[in-house]
Amino acid sequence: MHPSDLIPSSSRPGAPTSEDLLRAGEASLVAGRVDEALRLFATAVRVDGHSSQALTAFGGALAQSGDLARARLVLERSLAADPLQREAWLAMATLELDQSRPSAALGAIDRALALGPMTAELLGILARARLASGDVDGARRAVDHGLGLAPADATLHNVAAAIDRASGNGERAALRLARAASMDPMGQSRAWYELARAGEPLDEAELRAELSAASAAGNRVRLANLHHALAEVLRGRGLPEALVQAAAGNALTATGDAATSISAQVDQTIATFDATYFAQARGAGLRGSAPIVVVGTPSAALDHVAGLLGNHPSTARTEAGHLATLAAQVEPTVGLPFPLGCERLERGHWAGMAHRYVELVGSAARGQRTLDVSAGNGLYLGLVASCLPDARVIHVRRDRRDAALEDLLMHRGVVDLSWSGSLAEIVEHEGDAARLMEHWRKVLSLPLLEVDAADLVREPSIQQRRLCEFAGLALPERTSPAPAAERLRVGAWRAYEAELRAQLPEHWFASAIGVS
């Protein structure tokens, strides 16, 4: 069936309207045809590029397809056009949860709640966010409220199953999952992945049976979730098949030649942000706003540092990696996209862009320091230096062998890690990241602190003090481990050494610390 066949006949013979395309796209989503919905929503955006509703629908579908990077950019564009969209804030909250950012999700939920009533959909997202934050009782209250409004909501039953497992009631959790599966197989597959990643015991035979059923149905996103759930189960037992299952899942969510595009971006960034650029930008930008920018490959180590600083009473983590939004201002300002357009920026531009960034993150208005954490932030450090010259940068590094293993096992449909489909891609990305960070060390005027994951495990209190001192934050009277501490798994690569040695360059084993 061609997508145009879904457009109501009442719209013909004229061209379909944005509303027609949105209705057809929603019907495709309900039927599980995510790719078809994407084409329809993308067409709706082309028909009416100013429609925030079309942008929100397109962003939500991109997230469902696993293209989280593009989903974030589209949703941010939608919210920039109309910040009073309840549906866009709910979509952003879901995206934050998909990328393991419960605090940011709660912030987006608050914005959505201020724009409308409490609904079962909102309560389902709220329950997920509270559970991910460790607030089991709060999650249970949200679920109970939501089920009172919508007893057949699959998301609520999935969250209820996770709560039951966390409370030690595995039998009731199994019943909840079975009921949710009958309502929403996609939601069940995602719930299984999240439970497996959290270390909950799952039935391997049942997962394999679901994989067979999903293969027959042909739903790529559901199949990817199940491959990664099985990979996490096998990873917990140290079995090499975990790598095979993760690779199969990531192959289903591939988004093109990402490694090549990243290499090209790094080349352009290094060429643009040279000594001449920084000489022109000297003394420009917005003083007084001092965000803490954390960079590094998506990993438990990055999450750990974000947790240590994000839990500080004087910081507020941004609802998203807003530096990408800062870079997105370049094209409308000078007519060329980032990074090429940065060569045309003038002194007044840097301060104006910085003001818009500060307004977007909102932390300054609450008297807190902005904590901007994203794996992609490394590309934007030159722009940060010229727009926000009081910023501080923390670079989180890992043993490259542990980083390679985590990258291979990570669900690229959940975390923006589109280049991690193979060890060859990981090697290429590591090289790109290494030369970009080496460039910043040579030319960047911002204070830069390098933190190693192994040190976070060996001496957590020392490293927390070091991080706070560098960021200019008082050490909290009471400290607690960051949520990701137990998942750092320093040295986990040794269980897979044979598989890694067969594909990684030998120099990766001669020098442990990489740039991730």
Same domain, 417 and 465: yes
The closest of 116, 75, 106, 107 to 92, measured between CA atoms, is 75
**C-alpha–C-alpha distance, residues 426 and 404, integer Å:** 7
Distances from the Cα of 240 to the Cαs of 209, 247, 495, in angstroms? 20, 12, 8
Same domain, 226 and 266: no
Containing H/E element for 397?
strand 392-397
- Which of 236, 253, 270 terminates a domain? The answer is 253
On whether residue 418 sits in a domain, the answer given is yes
Helix (H, G, I), strand (E, B) or coil at 36: helix
Phi-psi domain of 296 (left: phi exceeds 0; alpha: psi -120 through 50; beta: other): left
Position of tokens 């040190």?
A: 455
- Give me the chain's average pLDDT, please: 80
How many other β-carbons are positioned within 10 Å of the β-carbon of residue 376?
Answer: 17
* DSSP3 helix / strand / coil % (the chain, rounded to 5): 65, 5, 30
Q: What is the pLDDT of residue 316?
A: 75
pLDDT in tens, 426-475: 778 888 888 999 999 999 989 999 999 888 888 888 988 999 999 999 88
On whether residue 156 sits in a domain, the answer given is no
On whether residue 1 sits in a domain, the answer given is no
Eight-state DSSP code of residue 303: H
On whether residue 237 sits in a domain, the answer given is yes
On whether residue 219 sits in a domain, the answer given is yes
Helix (H, G, I), strand (E, B) or coil at 67: coil
Position of tokens 């293209």?
A: 67
Q: What is the pLDDT of residue 11?
A: 40
CATH of residue 382? 3.40.50.300
Copy the structure tokens of residue 372.
Answer: 């901007």
Same domain, 228 and 293: no
**C-alpha–C-alpha distance, residues 47 and 18, integer Å:** 6
On whether residue 106 sits in a domain, the answer given is no
- Which of 253, 282, 300 terminates a domain? The answer is 253
Same domain, 451 and 378: yes
DSSP 229-284: HHHHHHHHTT-THHHHHHHHHHHTT--SSHHHHHHHHHHHHHHHSSHHHHHHHTT-
Same domain, 232 and 274: no
Eight-state DSSP code of residue 491: T
pLDDT along the chain (516 residues), means of 10: 37 65 79 76 78 84 76 86 89 84 84 89 89 81 90 81 74 69 67 74 86 78 87 88 89 60 86 93 89 82 79 72 80 90 92 87 71 86 95 91 82 58 74 92 94 86 91 75 58 86 78 51
Same domain, 320 and 462: yes
Residue 394, strand partner residues: 294, 449
Q: What is the pLDDT of residue 252?
A: 80
Q: C-alpha angle with apex 158: 180 to 117, nearest 5 degrees? A: 105
pLDDT in tens, 166-179: 676 766 776 676 66
Same domain, 208 and 305: no
Helix (H, G, I), strand (E, B) or coil at 515: coil
Helix (H, G, I), strand (E, B) or coil at 396: strand
- Which of 228, 253, 278 terminates a domain? The answer is 253
Q: Do 136 and 102 touch, CB atoms closer than 8 A?
A: no
DSSP 401-468: HHHHHHHHHS-TTTTT-TTTTSHHHHHHHHHHHHHHHHHHHHH--S-EEEEEHHHHHH-HHHHHHHHH
Count CA atoms closer than 13 A to 384's CA, side-chain side.
29
Same domain, 281 and 229: no
pTM: 0.66
Residue 238 is part of which domain span? 185-253
On whether residue 477 sits in a domain, the answer given is yes
Alpha helices in 67-184 (DSSP H): 68-81, 86-98, 102-113, 120-132, 136-149, 154-166, 170-183
Total domains, the chain: 2
On whether residue 119 sits in a domain, the answer given is no
Q: Do 293 and 393 touch, CB atoms closer than 8 A?
A: yes
Same domain, 415 and 437: yes
Q: What is the pLDDT of residue 435?
A: 92
Same domain, 383 and 325: yes
Position of tokens 């039953």?
A: 157
Q: Do 266 and 344 touch, CB atoms closer than 8 A?
A: no
**C-alpha–C-alpha distance, residues 450 and 186, integer Å:** 40
Same domain, 317 and 273: yes
Copy the structure tokens of residue 401.
Answer: 């062998």
Same domain, 218 and 355: no
